[in-house]
Structure 1
């Protein structure tokens, strides 16, 4: 067993003046092809987009002696590779200098493969051979962007045995993978034809110098190798890959537009080589992420980060997967509940007929004993977004309108949710292990980086409203509330007050950006049980289904995932003296909890009137047969 985890360095660049639309697709394909090696501690996949020459050298220094394979995708020519000086600006990395980097890795490390997937890179081959690189894949002439992606996809999927149920059994050889990719292109394309000059934006050349190309019957890609039987590592490295490294890196970058603290952190951190692996620095990044993300999501991430620091054990694996899946599901629930709350208000003002798909998704939420799964909430969110767009309704979170086009099967966000659902299914059957933790982390990273806008939002729980009106003065209100989530000093769910001249909904959990007076009321889908029972602090619960036997509503506590049922006790019905009721603490609690039940069924009645009518009919029918 090797103690050092080998690295696959996968780098991409682009040019805004000659944009390559398929480059990011190539990144996704390669990461997916190699993910089972990454998840099982056989290979560390390091992928970077829009890399500069400075970043290339930083990465080579950071992973010195560990780089097993190097892949480049972007514009290129015979004398070098094009990198990004800034995102908009390009700079040429000279092949002579790059060859020196490769020489160092050959002499002092384990470098086996260099794949230069840009136009006309074959003139660089001699430099690679002089540097001692065992295997080089290069190109004879300009290549079309989509063919470059297709070739890379076939090559890496075959080399990694990605589509096999037992991928590490009889791993394919390098020569076999190359020949497989060539055979695919011969079948799908006419790869012996030179690319047309007029499709410049779709090609990966810096300058269209056809003197670099060989005769028209020369195949585009070529493999020079002294080790045709080389395979990807099947041996598990002794070095344990840390939890949350990818999640932290992805999210601290994703929240930058909404967090000046994250911006300042990265400015300082990026001056430290390899900061991503220095715990005292990444711990600070984790804190920033946890208090930046909205309320309940920040708390979920804090739990996940804490579990990641625990010593390795089966219990750690179980707890990490539990909380990864809950974090993903609750993120989707939060967005879905915000949309449903807005839709409820819209229907109150102007009743509209819903399409069948939305009706079905709402029925899954309101009329099932079991809470929908991750994909169930994704489909609900998708149906809600489609309806809001079709009716030109205002989205409760404007960013959801921008997210809506990404809730489709072709997008990485959808794929990440599918992967999390697959892991959840295995977890429910007890068929999970350490690799599933890394796979869950990767998919959760994709989901949450797409929900980065939640770092702009905050949540509060309104605990109490005190009315004050002094003679000849306008009325004032004292709002007592709990600020949900973490603050910058790691305080959780802090109690606060606000003395203002406007009222606010009592016992409400509010989601807002800016001032909470302009907020989304999430009650009764998300509730603060402590606010309803006159307890201090906050105890946030998510709606989790209903008991079909007695009709009570099931809620799941955020803190410990325990469940509680809230039934209807009809405390205020009939000939009841409300003043006397309010004097009894227990009856006041029951009255508050009855409001949860009533509001839930009011929402159901407004959004699904047919379902509510059916329930009333069956209740009346049952009453007729009572003895």
Structure 2
């Protein structure tokens, strides 16, 4: 299901491959498959369009450029080549003629010539007007060529710039391969003799027109569609809701990052598109945000009257959203900073309850994002726009942030009593602006990973079985683990006992670990099999709160932020033992003060001092993070 015809706005990546029956490249088909796999999700979501020619001829290339005038952003060639030609199927392609064609394409950003010794074509291409060329100075080995291009396009697909993607692919090959005897080459004149490449360690180079160097090297693939909901759908939502109207309208922004959402809002009847009952639309917002945010929006459906309770839950939605974004960035900063010399400052987490209660999470994001870009490439490139908007005092996001922080302080000190209907409406609008800024999370998945097992039956390929499940809300409150064993089997793995963020569940090796900042309590609380209940199989999500007396306190997201602050049932801490849970206690009895002067006779037999601390791993990770970020 498509929102609108946006084909004339989406850029095209044109992948071409050509083999030679007399000098067959065995991995050329595999390169085609891998590059398609790296980009297919962006193609499916209509962020870009893929064209793939696996037996490319001169006429195919010219026909595609003619049909898609000025829309092809990247032209990729893989196969045998030399300094003046590409060995296309049905005959060679002359470099000068191809350069004239490519130079006429206004939308073209990059030509990637993944064959041997293609550097000889670079000056011709640049002189013809091509902005940037990736080419090789020497013969390249077939497997390295495939690995290099795969890493380059996977990096592009994950919001890296052309320059960043090139450096990542370069670093990958330098890490994986050492100098070795080359066996299968992409040299058009190579006839089978083994070649030792001593001329240079990394044959690929990137060549850019000097006048456009900054612009081209910073170019990225689009990460959202320029069109959200059709105008008639926006009006339909506006007429369907009173309370939460602006929250539901966040779908307009979410659909830019995940067009699958729109397919759930309509149904096709022949040639006609029919809108579904709007009562389901709030759940689409809830289900397509990670559970910490979705749980707060779910509560807003029960607090729909203009009163202080609704104000509290609106502001709570803002705070939990801000916390999640903040902890994603802290996790990313830690990941990027490990083993790197840097001047990052430790984020302000070692604070007591009073400081935590008033901490401006959203306001810290620009500085955190800048710190990450100073040491590496952010896991979520979309946060760049959010950070930029927050630094612009005139942006809607910056104004909403200022208003919501003011409202937060009022609720804590002097809750308003007058004009609550107008105040609730204005607060909802402000919260919706923050949610729109976080709408990119609709293209990511939050997963709980409780355990990872190696699985390798005899004569079968190695696989990993993950005890895992998605952390997105449904119409109930339960978050179950995947039960399908086939789905739990993966080719790669992630960190265990963690909550991770991924853009694609098929590629768990490309994930961001959010431990110890966001946790699934039931991952750490072990119970006997005979005592396992349905509740134990559910996820129970907590966000890090404050550090005090050598322990961390975490707050559940089941209720509002303010409720969790004041209710111990919504809190856990890292000094809790296994017995605390076995006996049904969230906090140790010592935390409640004296026992009215009566000795109940339980202290000598509990053995609490010897009971293991179930969250010790989290506190250890927290201390390690502090140490790494203050070196």
TM-score normalised according to structure 1 size = 0.48
More helix by share: 1
TM-score normalised according to structure 2 size = 0.48
